């Protein structure tokens, strides 16, 4: 037996308290019914009963089993989170922190070796005593004492205790990689960080609370469904009481005993009440959160997970999400009678010292197209001209010749300054590359333009199919990019996106989200920078990157520990699977209850009204065997559905109408057929063994 299962069995018995059961109104009624039958069994053993003691004992045992099965489902779902929480707690421990005062921090900025100075001036304190706003120093080999915002230094950090990813990440002051998490370990160099959270409110603390479901609150959808289940429970309670009174009245008229005794009445009520979904409802919600945690995403609320399932607009960053993130050379476009090989040769020479992915792709393309082998710069006395933000060009000087590669306007200025001509042909080629969504790099030698290198944003493999699936689900995809409108339009068309926001600013993102929300849409987006915080705070589902700033993580309602921009698509699928699972099992449960009503009640009332035998289509042996079969089935179906509740209903990309039709066909019709078949089989088994 797995450790998880043993723990769940133990916890199932631990939840047999009134306080635990009161959290689920439907299962509370089953709990009270089990308590009542226990009292009835004690009275039967004392000689006071309206039914054989063996029958009462059987009903009592099955009702307690039903309660335990419901507890087991919830405990099994919680167990996965508890195991993850235990692993996280092992990473969270009180360590010694090096506290830095403001004076030492100011002096360190002027020092040649700040790390040695800070280590000497720091004051050792326990990490648990750190307050928000205080500053600490941490160096290689030490554990980060608290969540913080890096304000000085840069270091590689091991975050495997939190993310599960063994590869170290760089954390540095400034930019969007300044956030550092307590419990991680610095592998190299040093950092100075300002504490971003009070003790007990760290990212790790929140993560532990969420994964073990301690902080999980019922979502609006869960609350609404719970109200429906309570209403149905009250309806079936009234039905059961009415049947009892009706049976008593009719029996008195005939001078016979009421076939619906108190024990049968209690069993009938439990059979008709929506116990199946009532027992599994909490497990479905917890399992949905667990699937999200398994995807390395921390949700700060269950509401966000459900909202992800209802999202119909996705705002996606271009770089790293839709494209690979690195532009690659796709073509050499010569001008002015220059051959393509001559252009490729010059472009390769200008790129030999360019270690950027774009520069390396030029070298690779020249080799693939023309077999131009990579040359050593040192062997020919080449002088490298590095790229700078001011010149926006790079290249080489050799034997009195100059080769330059760079932005079109920069190369134009370079060529014209040396008496060359930047012709209309090259301007037209560069413009055409831009219109197609690429980036033009112009190559010149000795003030003569040779042609243009077409740098292309490479669309990720399969991303177009992904967006097609989302469109089939009724989700609109919108690309957010800083590119010009022409480039953005070309990439959006190639990737199969519905819309785009070009030259995006924080204000533009925020305005777009508000516009979509005003139209009635639910909007999801990702972000990692402080400038993304306003838009993240506005979005219905806001996924912040763990590598991002503290402001972004505080603004979002989810944090992606892997810092993968494409994770948003997976989050939407998990959210939809959660809603589908809850809807499917609710459909099954209600259909199941109605089927049991028509399967059992005719058999119960046959002694009073023999004419009802025609409605006893399954020909159940006796009222007692029918009731026992129904109550046993009612308990076993909970166990049978636990794997589905934990795993979730298989997600399919389809329109809401098709999903609804399938849900009704599989779980609605299945909920009607299964009880009839199972109750008949159990009744026949009891007849076979001589119980009925």
Phi, psi for residue 68 in degrees, rounded to 5: -65, -40
Task: Work out the widest C-alpha separation in the chain, in whole angstroms.
Answer: 123
Q: At what angle do helices 25-45 and 220-254 cross, to 10 degrees?
A: 30
**How many Cα atoms are found within 13 Å in the side-chain-facing hemisphere of 249?**
6
Check: CB of residue 97 under 8 Å from CB of residue 123. no
Q: Which residues of 107-120 are buried (b: 16+ CB within 10 A; e: fewer)?
A: ebeeeeebbebbee
Per-residue HEC secondary structure of 559-625 comes to EECCCCCCHHHHHHHHHHHHHHHHHHHHHHHHHHHHHHHHHHHHHHHCCCCHHHHHHCCCCCCCHHH
Per DSSP, helices labelled H in 92-175 are: 102-108, 114-121, 160-163
CA dihedral 258, 261, 262, 268 (to 10 degrees): -110
Query: Which residue among the candidates 317, 354, 532, 560 is catalytic per the annotation?
Result: 317
CA 82 – CA 289 distance, rounded (Å): 12
User: Residue 534 CB: number of other CB atoms within 10 A?
Assistant: 17
Contacts of 627 (CB under 8 A, 6+ apart): 59, 264, 267, 268, 271, 600, 604
Q: Would residue 498 show up in a list of annotated catalytic residues for this protein?
A: no
Q: Which two tokens stand for residue 564?
A: 């993968």
E strand spans, 300-415: 313-317, 323-334, 383-385, 393-398, 401-406
Q: Are the beta carbons of 214 and 226 closer than 8 angstroms?
A: no
Geometric angle at alpha carbon 543, from 132 and 516, rounded to 5°: 120
Q: How far apart are the first and last CA of the chain?
A: 35
Q: How many helices (H) and strands (E) does the chain have?
A: 25, 21
Give me the active site residues, please: 317
């Amino acid at each position: 037996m797995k450790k998880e299962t043993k723990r769940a069995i133990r916890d199932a018995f631990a939840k047999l308290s009134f306080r635990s059961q009161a959290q689920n109104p439907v299962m509370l009624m089953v709990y009270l019914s089990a308590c009542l039958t226990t009292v009835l069994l004690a009275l039967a053993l004392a000689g006071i009963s309206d039914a054989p003691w063996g029958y009462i004992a059987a009903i009592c045992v099955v009702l307690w089993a039903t309660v335990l099965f419901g507890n087991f489902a919830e405990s099994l779902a919680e167990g996965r989170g508890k195991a993850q929480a235990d692993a996280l707690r092992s990473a969270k421990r009180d360590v010694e922190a090096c506290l830095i005062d403001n004076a030492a921090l100011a002096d360190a900025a002027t020092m040649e070796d700040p790390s040695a100075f800070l280590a000497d001036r720091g004051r050792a304190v326990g990490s648990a005593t750190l307050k928000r706003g205080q500053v600490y120093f941490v160096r290689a080999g030490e554990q980060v004492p608290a969540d913080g915002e890096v304000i000085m230094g840069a270091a590689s950090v091991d975050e495997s205790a939190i993310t599960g990813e063994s590869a170290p990440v760089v954390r540095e002051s400034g930019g969007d990689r300044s956030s550092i998490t307590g419990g991680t370990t610095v592998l190299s160099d040093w950092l100075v960080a300002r504490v971003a959270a009070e003790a007990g409110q760290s990212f790790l603390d929140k993560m532990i609370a969420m994964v073990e479901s301690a902080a999980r609150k019922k979502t609006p959808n869960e609350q609404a469904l719970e109200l429906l289940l309570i209403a149905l429970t009250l309806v079936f309670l009234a039905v059961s009481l009415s049947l009892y009174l009706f049976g008593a009245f009719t029996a008195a008229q005939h001078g016979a005993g009421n076939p619906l005794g108190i024990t049968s009445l209690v069993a009938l009520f439990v059979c008709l009440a929506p116990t199946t979904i009532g027992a599994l409802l909490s497990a479905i919600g917890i399992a949905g959160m667990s699937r999200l945690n398994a995807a390395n995403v921390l949700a700060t609320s269950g509401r966000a997970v459900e909202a992800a399932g209802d999202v119909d607009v996705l705002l996606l960053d271009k770089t790293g999400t839709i494209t690979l993130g690195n532009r690659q050379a796709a073509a050499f476009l010569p001008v002015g009678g220059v051959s393509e090989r001559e252009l490729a040769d010059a472009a390769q020479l200008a790129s030999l010292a360019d270690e950027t992915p774009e520069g390396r792709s030029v070298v690779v393309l020249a080799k693939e197209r023309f077999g131009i082998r990579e040359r050593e710069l040192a062997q020919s006395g080449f002088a490298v001209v590095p790229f700078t933000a001011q010149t926006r060009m790079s290249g080489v000087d050799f034997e009195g010749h100059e080769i330059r590669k760079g932005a079109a306007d920069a190369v134009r200025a370079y060529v014209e300054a040396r008496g060359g001509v930047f012709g209309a042909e090259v301007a037209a080629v560069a413009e055409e590359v831009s219109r197609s969504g690429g980036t033009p790099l112009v190559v010149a030698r000795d003030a003569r333009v040779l042609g243009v290198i077409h740098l292309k944003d490479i669309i990720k493999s399969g991303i177009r199919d992904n967006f097609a699936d989302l469109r089939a689900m009724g989700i609109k995809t919108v690309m957010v990019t800083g590119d010009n409108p022409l480039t953005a339009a070309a990439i959006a068309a190639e990737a199969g996106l519905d819309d785009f926001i070009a030259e995006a600013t924080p204000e533009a993102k925020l305005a777009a989200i508000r516009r979509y929300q005003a139209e009635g849409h639910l909007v999801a987006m990702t972000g990692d920078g402080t400038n993304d915080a306003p838009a993240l705070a506005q979005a219905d589902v806001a996924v912040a990157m763990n590598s991002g700033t503290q402001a972004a993580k505080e603004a979002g309602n989810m944090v992606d520990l892997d810092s993968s921009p494409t994770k948003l698509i997976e989050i939407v699928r998990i959210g939809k699977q959660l809603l589908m699972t809850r809807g499917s099992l609710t459909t099954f449960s209600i259909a199941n209850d109605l089927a049991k009503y028509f399967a059992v009640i005719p058999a119960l009332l046959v002694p009073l009204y023999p004419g009802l035998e025609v409605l006893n289509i399954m020909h159940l042996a006796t009222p007692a065997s029918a009731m026992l079969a129904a109550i046993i089935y009612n308990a076993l179906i909970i166990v049978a559905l636990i794997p589905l509740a934990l795993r979730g209903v298989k997600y399919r990309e389809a329109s809401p109408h098709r999903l609804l039709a399938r849900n009704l066909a599989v779980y609605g019709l299945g909920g009607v057929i299964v009880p009839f078949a199972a109750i008949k089989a159990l009744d026949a088994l009891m007849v076979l063994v001589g119980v009925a």
